[in-house]
Amino acid sequence: MEKSKNTLLSCVVKSIVFILILTLLLLGLSYMMAPKDNTKESGIINPNATGFYSEPKNSIDVVVVGNSDAYSGFSPMELWNSFGYTSYVSAEGLQVPAGSLAMLKRILTCQAPKLVILETDGMFTKTDVSQNIINAFNSVLGEPFSVFRYHNRWKKLKWKDVLRKPYYTAHCVTKGQMLSNKVKEYSGKEYMIETDEKDKIPPFSVMTVDKIKELCEENGIELLLLEMPSESSWNYKRHNAVKEFAKERDLPFIDLNLDRDRFDFDWTTDSRDGGNHLNTRGARKVTRFIGEYLQKHYDLPDYREDPAYSVWHEDYKEYLKQIKI
Amino acid sequence: MEELLEILENLKPGVDFPAQTDLIEDHILDSMSVVMLVGELNDAFDIEITPVDVIPENFKTVDAIYAMIQRLSDD
Amino acid sequence: MAYSSIVYLLPFLGAVVLLYNGMPKKYRWWVLLLASYIFYWLNSPTTLIFLLLSTAAVYLAGIFLNKIQDGFDLSKKALDKEGKKQLRKIVGWQKKAICACALLFIFGLLAFLKYYPFVSENINQFLKLLHLESTLPSLKLLLPLGISYYTLQAAGYIIDVYRGKYRADTHLGKVALFLSFFPQIVEGPIARFDQTADQLMEGNRSTYQNLTWGIQLILWGLFKKMVIADRANPFVAEVFKNYAEQSGVALLVGGVLFTVQIYMEFSGCMDIVIGSAQLFGINLPKNFARPFFATSVNDFWRRWHITLGAWLRDYVFYSVSLSKGFAKLSKKAKEKLTPFLGALIPSAAALFCVWICNGIWHGAGWKYLAYGMYYYGIMLLGMLLEPLFAQCGAKLKLNREGRAFRIVRILRTCILVVGGMTLFRAETVGAFGEIVYRIFTNFAPQHFYDGTLLHLCIDGWDFIAIAAGCAIVLLVSILQEKGYSLREQIAGQNIIIRWSVYLALILAIIIFGAYGSGYDQVAFIYGQF
């Protein structure tokens, strides 16, 4: 009896129904387990990078994505004070392009940036096939199926949070920048030695950055590739690789490791860890230079006189208090 | 057969060997006692039981052991 | 590409199942062989050559053994009894020589690649003591993936052919697939040629039942590995790394948790492995039979890593104890000493070989030798004291077959096993000594309830998750021990109950699995041998 029922068709139908039920359950669980705020206490991953959720809707014009080089080296508050542009750094430690893509999608749910700056160092992070699959999944379905990211929250789940809608309240004064007033000099040799050799960008990174480009085009956003000064992660071979990549796609690319005198950069005072990441002083110099570039090439509004943005002036004052070098 | 039962009785006193259906699965004969048994059988029946013969099927029951002895003495 | 990784479970296994079933029956074994070599190459590209060498060696040796046997069978008809005896002797030597060469070759590779660093270092140390310049260079050798497993399979095959259990196979692909089948290659089970080779070549279609049962077993394995083993890992790693700063309680809990971890991980991996093979309708031998219900250490090793124990029994224990030299030794011992000792000494000596092999098979190091000797010592003591136990039992009128006594024996075995596992996990034999010393001298029982244990990398919730996971596994084990086949029980229920069970299992892995931010993927412990 039972055997004869197990025809191929019924097996396929059963499998599909089973997967459907599982999908629905996962969607429900994802909703229940997702953090309902973007504060540190809410359990959201990287609260600094996700502060854009609680900025006024469509108030951010420039978004920076990338890895730790980006959140150490880009200072939205400097950009605000010198040029009046509103920006947010949604960078995360070890963020790879797929993570940038996922982040960008989250940003687009509540902001309408005019420019996205992608820090290119993450393109060279080595990932294995398993990680690529997970990253690809997260960049496409990471939000609805956030249970895979937030499953460990079962330990801290509060009943009152389970069914309510998210309500974002965090206020990040630095707009995603991680401030460090430490100074550790890099006194080694010059690392940008001109060469014709070229590093290979992992194919998965190429594919994903192309997806980011597509997403930007669909939403009328300009895309700018940027490399922060970093002795330990950058070299001329990588520069050549990204330069070629950008040229093929007609994307602008700024490499701040070249001609560092342009912005008066000094490895003995501007790094917090001896050549890998920038400190607040380095970030200030770099951001002003980027601001000049943006002023020249893009038409971004200056909101400094706009009363709707008065909070930014307050934030700048707070930010200054935390700058010690 | 008598001789075999006597050897088995000496090896594990108090077990009703003819009544057992699976000496190995029921842990009456473990690898230790199998080795001792093989030594005794080799001497008593002037045969040579090699590792190939030491498989559960040959030691499952008294009859199986006896059949193996018969087979090996014919060789 | 670990068996618990996404890339193995989804694209790899999925593609192989599809390709396998898409091929005509005749060619399906090609898919398995190709997949196996690709799997090996993806994991360990440079060492594939060693697998190929061992495959070629046992294949050729098998063919030679066949030839010699055929020649003997052909010419023996023409000979009289005496001539036959003569020829048999010569042929016996020839076969022995070929078998020995093949074994020397494959075990030589294993010994060199796995034990050279350890042996050379110790020899150099020894030479230093004698004030001689050290002479052996230290080489950095890549240990081929799964070499400890496939070498045993290869050796078992050639010994079986030598012993005449079956004829060597003339099909190179069959021998190659038997040795390299991808689910088994990393952690076993160590199969015999007559257990799996025919099945691998049959090329039966994956039936719906095989697929669902295979997937279920894989999920069950993932549950054990991700929910229990990986969650316990941070605590175990911390306690055994900084053992000198831990109290006795923490070390004791660490030992118990490591025992839990390695069981869940190894048996979980076996579930994934056996489940993977089942997708192709292939039944691999089982490696675990609820070892923590064992009533003695002997019994434990019949239930834990079954295929290794069986291999050592068939090819080491019987080879040694049934050899002619041992027969003589046994006889002498019986004449000169008591019959009890006469029976004991040969077994004890053969067992010694088994446990030396067991110890060094697990790794090159004094610790592993000590590990083998630990169990050897316990078994020997048990054998020596057995008459005494029996007497005491009789005097005290204990019912040694009763239920209460059985539970006492199970507990005793568990304690001994936790001791063995602690030695296994400790960094060195010295560290193990220190751990035991601290357990007895610095127990600090208040750490059980004052929260100290909750600050060793895992929190109270983790302990609850581990305990709940263990409770579920225990419940399933009790049912299995009583003879229920849980799978069949569940399969017999209606669709709502059935699917609820499966969905609950999947969701439990997704929510309570120790993965994602804050958890590194933990490599399988038994994959490193």
- Distance from C150 to chain A by nearest Cα, in Å? 26
Q: Which residues of C touch B50 (CB under 8 A)?
A: 163, 322
Give the three-state DSSP class for C13: helix
Contact A26 C459 (CB under 8 A): no
* C313 in B contact zone (CB under 8 Å): yes
Beta strand residue intervals within C297-341, DSSP E: none
Radius of gyration of chain B (CA): 11
* C322 in B contact zone (CB under 8 Å): yes
Q: DSSP labels for A187-240?
A: -S-------S--PPPPHHHHHHHHHHHHHHHHTT-EEEEEE---TTT--HHHHH
Query: Among A131-145, A216-230, C384-398, C437-451, which range has the highest average pLDDT?
Result: A216-230
DSSP C77: T
Separation of CA C219 from chain center: 21
Per-residue model confidence (pLDDT) at position C528: 59
Contact A149 C516 (CB under 8 A): yes
Contact A152 C7 (CB under 8 A): no
* DSSP3 helix / strand / coil % (chain C, rounded to 5): 80, 0, 20
Q: Which residues of C touch A149 (CB under 8 A)?
A: 516-517
CA geometry: angle A250, A253, A254, nearest 5 deg: 160
Strand order of the sheet with strand A115-119? A87-89, A62-65, A115-119, A222-227, A253-255
C-alpha–C-alpha distance, residues A234 and A276, integer Å:
9
Contact B35 C319 (CB under 8 A): no
Using CB atoms, which residue from B27, B30, B35 is nearest to C350?
B35
Contact C512 A128 (CB under 8 A): no
CATH for the stretch A34-322: 3.40.50.1110
Kindly give, in sequence order, each residue whose CB lies less than 8 Å from that of residue A51, ignoring residues fewer than 6 positions away: A38, A88, A170, A171, A172, A175, A176
Go through A158-182 and write b for each residue having 16 or more CB atoms within 10 A of its CB, e for each that does not.
eeebeeeeeebebebbbbbbbbbee
Find, among A192, A174, A320, the residue nearest to A267 by Cα: A192
Contact C318 B35 (CB under 8 A): yes
DSSP A126: -
Q: Could you tell me if residue B4 is inside a domain?
A: no
Q: Could you tell me if residue B60 is inside a domain?
A: yes
Point out which residues pair with A253 in neighbouring strands: A225
Using CB atoms, which residue from C160, C299, C317 is nearest to B31?
C317
Tokens (6 digits) for A323: 């700058």
Radius of gyration of chain A (CA): 22
Find, among A78, A85, A74, A185, the residue nearest to A121 by Cα: A74
* C459 in A contact zone (CB under 8 Å): yes
Residues (pLDDT < 50) of chain C are none
Q: Which helix (H) or strand (E) holds A88?
A: strand A87-89
Per-residue model confidence (pLDDT) at position C522: 66
C-alpha–C-alpha distance, residues C259 and C356, integer Å:
22
C-alpha–C-alpha distance, residues A204 and A206, integer Å:
5
Contact B39 C319 (CB under 8 A): no
C-alpha–C-alpha distance, residues A321 and B26, integer Å:
80
Radius of gyration of chain C (CA): 25
C-alpha–C-alpha distance, residues C438 and C247, integer Å:
7
Whether A1 has a pLDDT exceeding 50, the answer reads: no
Contact A134 C6 (CB under 8 A): yes
Using CB atoms, which residue from A22, A133, A154 is nearest to C503?
A22
Domain count for chain B = 1
Q: Which of residues 49-68 of B touch C (CB under 8 A)?
A: 49-52, 54
CB atoms within 10 A of CB C489: 11
Helix axes A203-218, A97-107, angle to 10 degrees: 20
Contact partners for chain A, using 3 or more CB pairs closer than 8 A, are C
Per-residue model confidence (pLDDT) at position C527: 66
Q: Which residues of A touch C6 (CB under 8 A)?
A: 130, 133-134
Residue A118 φ then ψ, to 5°: -105, 120
Q: Which helix (H) or strand (E) holds A115?
A: strand A115-119
Kindly give, in sequence order, each residue whose CB lies less than 8 Å from that of residue C92, ignoring residues fewer than 6 positions away: none
Domain, as residue range, for B49: 22-74
C-alpha–C-alpha distance, residues C222 and A265, integer Å:
52
Read off the amino acid at residue C519: Y
Pairing mode, strands A222-227 and A87-89: unpaired
Q: Which residues of C touch B39 (CB under 8 A)?
A: 327, 330, 346
Answer yes or no: are the C-beta atoms of A93 and A180 closer than 8 Å. Answer: no
Go through B15-54 and write b for each residue having 16 or more CB atoms within 10 A of its CB, e for each that does not.
eebeebeebbeeebbebbbbbbbbbbbbeebebebebbbb
* B31 in C contact zone (CB under 8 Å): yes
User: Which one has a higher pLDDT value, A132 or C485?
Assistant: A132
* DSSP3 helix / strand / coil % (chain A, rounded to 5): 50, 5, 45
Per-residue model confidence (pLDDT) at position A4: 45
Tokens (6 digits) for C316: 């080491």
Q: Could you tell me if residue B6 is inside a domain?
A: no
Q: Mean of the pLDDT values across residues A139-147?
A: 92
Find, among C153, C164, C106, C147, the residue nearest to C307 by Cα: C153
DSSP B14: T
Tokens (6 digits) for A319: 């930010």
CB atoms within 10 A of CB A90: 28
CA distances (Å), origin C226, targets A155, C149, C309: 16, 24, 27
Give the three-state DSSP class for C288: coil
Q: Mean of the pLDDT values across residues A164-189?
A: 93
Nearest CA in chain A to C7: A130
Using CB atoms, which residue from B32, B49, B52 is nearest to C164?
B52
* DSSP3 helix / strand / coil % (chain B, rounded to 5): 65, 0, 35
Q: Which residues of A touch C506 (CB under 8 A)?
A: 22
CB atoms within 10 A of CB A299: 8
Find, among C63, C66, C283, C58, the residue nearest to C151 by Cα: C58
Tokens (6 digits) for C138: 């230290």
DSSP A271: B
Find, among C300, C214, C229, the residue nearest to C261 by Cα: C229
- Distance from C454 to chain A by nearest Cα, in Å? 14
Q: Could you tell me if residue B59 is inside a domain?
A: yes
C-alpha–C-alpha distance, residues B51 and C314, integer Å:
7
CB atoms within 10 A of CB A193: 9
- Distance from B28 to chain C by nearest Cα, in Å? 12
Read off the amino acid at residue C98: I
From the candidates C65, C318, C330, C358, which should be mutated to test the interface with B, based on the most B CB atoms within 10 A? C318
Contact C313 B27 (CB under 8 A): no
C-alpha–C-alpha distance, residues A151 and C515, integer Å:
9
Q: Which residues of B touch C313 (CB under 8 A)?
A: 31
Answer yes or no: are the C-beta atoms of C149 and C190 closer than 8 Å. Answer: yes
CA distances (Å), origin C134, targets A292, B28, C129: 66, 53, 10
Q: Which helix (H) or strand (E) holds A118?
A: strand A115-119
Pairing mode, strands A253-255 and A62-65: unpaired
Length of chain C: 529
Nearest CA in chain C to B39: C327
- Distance from A105 to chain C by nearest Cα, in Å? 20
From the candidates C509, C511, C520, C521, which should be mutated to test the interface with A, based on the most A CB atoms within 10 A? C511
pLDDT confidence band for A2 (50 / 70 / 90):
very low
ipTM of the complex as predicted: 0.86
